[in-house]
Structures are given as C-alpha cells and as structure tokens.
Amino acid sequence: MGPIGIPELLIILAIIILIFGASRLPEIGRGFGSAIKNFKSSVKDGTEEPSEKRS
C-alpha cells in the first residue's frame, strides 16, 4: 500500500460531498480550520509556559 495520490483524494472528496452535501462543506472547512488554529495556539502556549516559569 503506497502513499495517497490525487485519484484517491478525489474519490475521498466525492464520498464526503455525497455524505455531507455541497452546502455544508464550507461550514465543515471553517470548523476544521478553526480547530487546527486553536490546536496550534495551544501547542505554542504549552511550549512557552515552562520557559516563563524558569525565568
């Protein structure tokens, strides 16, 4: 089993569109993007806290 290529990604996208519908995809994308943004900021805050306590 090799890496996921363009044809596989297109099939996955088609399945997602069939399940959720095209009208909900922007809403799902925004939710996913904000979740990643919150995760990155939490990781950044988590790595900065120990250095602040040492000072």
| Whole-prediction pTM | 0.52
Rounded Cα gap, residues 4 and 18, in angstroms: 20
**3-state class of 53 per DSSP?**
helix
Distance set, CA 24 to CA 4, 10, 18, 20, 27 (Å): 25, 18, 11, 6, 5
More confident of the two residues 46 and 19: 19
- Res. 46 pLDDT band, cuts 50 70 90: confident
Which value, to the nearest 10 degrees, does the dihedral of the CA atoms of residues 20, 36, 7, 19 take? -10
**3-state class of 15 per DSSP?**
helix
pLDDT of residue 22: 84
Rounded Cα gap, residues 15 and 44, in angstroms: 34
